[in-house]
Amino acid sequence: MNNEIQNNNLEVIGEGKQEKQWNPWLSMWTKPRETMRDIINNRPKKYIHILAVIYGIFSSLDKAYLKNMGDELNLWSILLIAVLGGSIGGILYVYINASLIKLTGGWIGGKGSAEEIRAAIVWGSVPYFLVSLLWIPEIILFGEETFSSSTPIIDSSFFLASFMGIAGLIEFIGSMWAIIVGLKCLGEVQGFSAWKALGNQVLAGLIIIVPIIFIVIVFAVGAAIF
Protein backbone atom coordinates (compact mmCIF):
# COMPACT_ATOMS: atom_id res chain seq x y z
CA MET A 1 0.00 0.00 0.00
CA ASN A 2 2.79 2.42 0.95
CA ASN A 3 4.62 1.57 -2.25
CA GLU A 4 1.52 2.39 -4.31
CA ILE A 5 1.17 5.76 -2.57
CA GLN A 6 4.83 6.55 -3.19
CA ASN A 7 4.54 5.58 -6.86
CA ASN A 8 1.45 7.76 -7.26
CA ASN A 9 3.26 10.68 -5.67
CA LEU A 10 6.19 10.23 -8.03
CA GLU A 11 3.82 10.18 -11.00
CA VAL A 12 2.18 13.41 -9.82
CA ILE A 13 5.58 15.04 -9.33
CA GLY A 14 6.68 13.85 -12.77
CA GLU A 15 3.53 15.21 -14.36
CA GLY A 16 4.07 18.52 -12.60
CA LYS A 17 7.55 18.77 -14.08
CA GLN A 18 6.25 18.05 -17.56
CA GLU A 19 3.53 20.68 -17.22
CA LYS A 20 5.84 23.38 -15.91
CA GLN A 21 5.48 26.47 -18.03
CA TRP A 22 8.30 28.94 -18.58
CA ASN A 23 8.15 32.68 -19.12
CA PRO A 24 9.92 32.84 -22.50
CA TRP A 25 10.88 36.51 -22.11
CA LEU A 26 13.06 35.53 -19.15
CA SER A 27 13.87 31.83 -19.45
CA MET A 28 14.78 31.96 -23.15
CA TRP A 29 18.05 33.69 -22.22
CA THR A 30 19.38 30.77 -20.16
CA LYS A 31 17.05 27.81 -20.80
CA PRO A 32 16.23 28.01 -24.53
CA ARG A 33 15.67 24.29 -25.12
CA GLU A 34 13.39 23.80 -22.11
CA THR A 35 11.49 26.98 -22.94
CA MET A 36 11.11 26.00 -26.59
CA ARG A 37 9.81 22.56 -25.65
CA ASP A 38 7.22 24.16 -23.36
CA ILE A 39 6.09 26.45 -26.18
CA ILE A 40 5.82 23.58 -28.66
CA ASN A 41 3.89 21.43 -26.21
CA ASN A 42 1.43 24.10 -25.08
CA ARG A 43 1.17 27.05 -27.50
CA PRO A 44 3.06 26.56 -30.80
CA LYS A 45 0.89 29.01 -32.78
CA LYS A 46 0.50 31.74 -30.16
CA TYR A 47 1.93 35.16 -31.03
CA ILE A 48 3.76 33.83 -34.11
CA HIS A 49 2.50 36.54 -36.46
CA ILE A 50 2.90 39.34 -33.93
CA LEU A 51 6.48 38.33 -33.23
CA ALA A 52 7.18 37.98 -36.96
CA VAL A 53 5.96 41.56 -37.47
CA ILE A 54 8.10 42.84 -34.60
CA TYR A 55 11.12 41.00 -36.01
CA GLY A 56 10.55 42.59 -39.41
CA ILE A 57 10.22 46.11 -37.99
CA PHE A 58 13.38 45.87 -35.90
CA SER A 59 15.28 44.32 -38.82
CA SER A 60 14.17 47.20 -41.05
CA LEU A 61 15.43 49.73 -38.50
CA ASP A 62 18.76 47.90 -38.39
CA LYS A 63 19.04 48.09 -42.18
CA ALA A 64 18.11 51.77 -42.18
CA TYR A 65 20.90 52.42 -39.66
CA LEU A 66 23.52 50.42 -41.57
CA LYS A 67 22.61 52.08 -44.88
CA ASN A 68 22.49 55.63 -43.41
CA MET A 69 19.00 56.11 -44.84
CA GLY A 70 18.69 59.32 -42.82
CA ASP A 71 20.99 60.96 -45.37
CA GLU A 72 18.23 60.73 -47.98
CA LEU A 73 14.96 60.31 -46.06
CA ASN A 74 13.38 62.08 -43.12
CA LEU A 75 12.67 60.26 -39.88
CA TRP A 76 8.96 59.74 -40.51
CA SER A 77 9.61 58.18 -43.91
CA ILE A 78 12.12 55.77 -42.39
CA LEU A 79 9.69 54.78 -39.63
CA LEU A 80 6.83 54.34 -42.12
CA ILE A 81 8.95 52.07 -44.31
CA ALA A 82 10.07 50.09 -41.25
CA VAL A 83 6.52 49.60 -39.97
CA LEU A 84 4.80 48.79 -43.28
CA GLY A 85 7.61 47.09 -45.18
CA GLY A 86 9.06 45.44 -42.11
CA SER A 87 5.71 43.97 -41.06
CA ILE A 88 5.20 42.30 -44.43
CA GLY A 89 8.83 41.34 -44.75
CA GLY A 90 8.93 39.80 -41.28
CA ILE A 91 6.02 37.48 -41.96
CA LEU A 92 7.38 36.49 -45.38
CA TYR A 93 10.80 35.84 -43.87
CA VAL A 94 9.46 33.57 -41.14
CA TYR A 95 7.29 31.51 -43.49
CA ILE A 96 9.83 31.21 -46.31
CA ASN A 97 12.73 30.52 -43.97
CA ALA A 98 10.73 27.89 -42.07
CA SER A 99 9.80 26.14 -45.33
CA LEU A 100 13.42 26.04 -46.49
CA ILE A 101 14.65 24.86 -43.09
CA LYS A 102 12.04 22.10 -43.04
CA LEU A 103 12.99 21.03 -46.57
CA THR A 104 16.75 20.94 -45.98
CA GLY A 105 16.37 19.69 -42.43
CA GLY A 106 14.56 16.65 -43.77
CA TRP A 107 17.71 15.74 -45.70
CA ILE A 108 19.68 15.43 -42.47
CA GLY A 109 17.05 13.88 -40.22
CA GLY A 110 15.10 16.91 -39.00
CA LYS A 111 11.83 16.08 -37.26
CA GLY A 112 10.19 19.49 -36.79
CA SER A 113 7.01 20.56 -38.58
CA ALA A 114 6.81 23.89 -40.40
CA GLU A 115 4.67 25.21 -37.55
CA GLU A 116 7.25 24.22 -34.93
CA ILE A 117 10.10 25.69 -36.97
CA ARG A 118 8.23 28.99 -37.32
CA ALA A 119 7.82 29.04 -33.54
CA ALA A 120 11.54 28.34 -33.10
CA ILE A 121 12.48 31.20 -35.44
CA VAL A 122 10.41 33.86 -33.71
CA TRP A 123 10.79 32.74 -30.09
CA GLY A 124 14.50 32.14 -30.56
CA SER A 125 14.75 35.85 -31.37
CA VAL A 126 13.62 36.95 -27.88
CA PRO A 127 17.07 38.35 -26.89
CA TYR A 128 17.13 40.31 -30.15
CA PHE A 129 13.64 41.70 -29.50
CA LEU A 130 14.50 42.90 -26.00
CA VAL A 131 17.78 44.63 -26.82
CA SER A 132 16.16 46.17 -29.91
CA LEU A 133 13.83 48.10 -27.61
CA LEU A 134 16.77 50.49 -27.29
CA TRP A 135 15.65 51.86 -30.66
CA ILE A 136 12.91 53.73 -28.80
CA PRO A 137 15.13 56.00 -26.63
CA GLU A 138 17.66 56.31 -29.48
CA ILE A 139 15.04 57.65 -31.89
CA ILE A 140 13.59 59.95 -29.21
CA LEU A 141 17.02 61.36 -28.31
CA PHE A 142 18.69 61.51 -31.73
CA GLY A 143 15.87 61.68 -34.29
CA GLU A 144 17.14 61.49 -37.86
CA GLU A 145 20.76 61.38 -36.68
CA THR A 146 20.10 57.81 -35.56
CA PHE A 147 20.09 56.83 -39.24
CA SER A 148 22.49 59.43 -40.65
CA SER A 149 26.21 59.41 -41.39
CA SER A 150 26.45 63.01 -40.09
CA THR A 151 25.82 63.22 -36.31
CA PRO A 152 26.66 66.76 -35.07
CA ILE A 153 24.29 66.63 -32.08
CA ILE A 154 25.62 63.28 -30.88
CA ASP A 155 29.24 64.30 -31.46
CA SER A 156 28.80 67.52 -29.47
CA SER A 157 27.74 65.73 -26.28
CA PHE A 158 29.88 63.25 -24.36
CA PHE A 159 26.75 61.87 -22.67
CA LEU A 160 24.88 61.28 -25.93
CA ALA A 161 27.91 59.78 -27.64
CA SER A 162 28.51 57.49 -24.64
CA PHE A 163 24.86 56.42 -24.58
CA MET A 164 24.97 55.65 -28.30
CA GLY A 165 28.14 53.60 -27.88
CA ILE A 166 26.83 51.63 -24.89
CA ALA A 167 23.48 51.02 -26.60
CA GLY A 168 25.28 49.78 -29.71
CA LEU A 169 27.39 47.39 -27.63
CA ILE A 170 24.32 46.02 -25.81
CA GLU A 171 22.51 45.52 -29.11
CA PHE A 172 25.50 43.71 -30.60
CA ILE A 173 25.87 41.35 -27.62
CA GLY A 174 22.12 40.68 -27.54
CA SER A 175 22.05 39.95 -31.27
CA MET A 176 24.97 37.51 -30.99
CA TRP A 177 23.28 35.75 -28.07
CA ALA A 178 20.05 35.60 -30.08
CA ILE A 179 21.90 33.62 -32.78
CA ILE A 180 23.00 31.05 -30.20
CA VAL A 181 19.54 30.89 -28.63
CA GLY A 182 17.91 30.59 -32.04
CA LEU A 183 20.12 27.65 -32.99
CA LYS A 184 19.30 25.89 -29.73
CA CYS A 185 15.57 26.45 -30.31
CA LEU A 186 15.80 25.14 -33.86
CA GLY A 187 17.85 22.19 -32.63
CA GLU A 188 15.17 21.39 -30.05
CA VAL A 189 12.33 21.19 -32.58
CA GLN A 190 14.44 19.38 -35.18
CA GLY A 191 16.03 16.92 -32.75
CA PHE A 192 19.49 18.37 -33.46
CA SER A 193 22.47 19.77 -31.62
CA ALA A 194 22.97 23.52 -32.04
CA TRP A 195 25.83 22.83 -34.48
CA LYS A 196 23.67 20.62 -36.65
CA ALA A 197 20.96 23.29 -36.52
CA LEU A 198 23.56 25.73 -37.88
CA GLY A 199 24.19 23.32 -40.74
CA ASN A 200 20.46 23.20 -41.36
CA GLN A 201 20.39 27.01 -41.57
CA VAL A 202 23.35 27.05 -43.95
CA LEU A 203 21.70 24.52 -46.25
CA ALA A 204 18.52 26.61 -46.25
CA GLY A 205 20.54 29.67 -47.22
CA LEU A 206 22.31 27.82 -50.02
CA ILE A 207 18.94 26.92 -51.56
CA ILE A 208 18.56 30.65 -52.32
CA ILE A 209 22.19 31.70 -52.81
CA VAL A 210 23.34 28.97 -55.21
CA PRO A 211 20.66 29.64 -57.89
CA ILE A 212 21.36 33.39 -57.66
CA ILE A 213 25.11 32.82 -58.14
CA PHE A 214 24.38 30.49 -61.06
CA ILE A 215 22.15 33.09 -62.75
CA VAL A 216 24.76 35.82 -62.24
CA ILE A 217 27.48 33.63 -63.74
CA VAL A 218 25.28 32.75 -66.73
CA PHE A 219 24.52 36.42 -67.42
CA ALA A 220 28.19 37.38 -66.97
CA VAL A 221 29.35 34.67 -69.37
CA GLY A 222 26.61 35.57 -71.82
CA ALA A 223 27.58 39.25 -71.70
CA ALA A 224 31.25 38.36 -72.25
CA ILE A 225 30.46 36.15 -75.28
CA PHE A 226 27.97 38.45 -76.98
pLDDT reported for residue 44:
87
- Whether the CB-CB separation of 122 and 55 falls below 8 Å is answered with yes
In this structure, the dihedral spanned by the alpha carbons of residues 124, 125, 130 and 136, taken in order and rounded to 10 degrees, is: -160
In a domain, 137, yes or no: yes
Q: What is the mean pLDDT of residues 125-138?
A: 94
Lowest mean pLDDT among 3-17, 47-61, 85-99: 3-17
In a domain, 54, yes or no: yes
In a domain, 19, yes or no: no
- Whether the CB-CB separation of 109 and 171 falls below 8 Å is answered with no
In a domain, 89, yes or no: yes
pLDDT reported for residue 116:
96
- Band (pLDDT 50/70/90 cuts) for residue 1 is very low
Q: What is the mean pLDDT of residues 34-40?
A: 94
Over the stretch 91-121, which tens digit does the pLDDT of each residue have?
A: 999 999 999 999 999 999 999 999 999 999 9
pLDDT reported for residue 10:
41
The answer on pLDDT for 209 being more than 80 is: yes
- Mean model confidence pLDDT for the chain: 87
Q: What is the mean pLDDT of residues 142-150?
A: 88
Considering only residues 16 and 85, tell me which one the structure prediction assigns the higher pLDDT: 85
In a domain, 205, yes or no: yes
CA distance 19 to 6: 20
pLDDT reported for residue 13:
42
Q: Which helix (H) or strand (E) holds 69?
A: none
pLDDT reported for residue 19:
53
Give the structural domain span for 128: 39-225
Q: Percent of the chain having pLDDT more than 70? A: 90
pLDDT reported for residue 7:
47
Number of domains in the chain: 1
Per-residue b/e over 167-181, b at no fewer than 16 CB within 10 Å?
beeebeebbebbbeb
- Whether the CB-CB separation of 121 and 182 falls below 8 Å is answered with yes
pTM: 0.83
Q: What is the mean pLDDT of residues 182-189?
A: 96
pLDDT reported for residue 20:
62
- Whether the CB-CB separation of 85 and 193 falls below 8 Å is answered with no
In a domain, 2, yes or no: no
Q: What is the mean pLDDT of residues 6-32?
A: 65
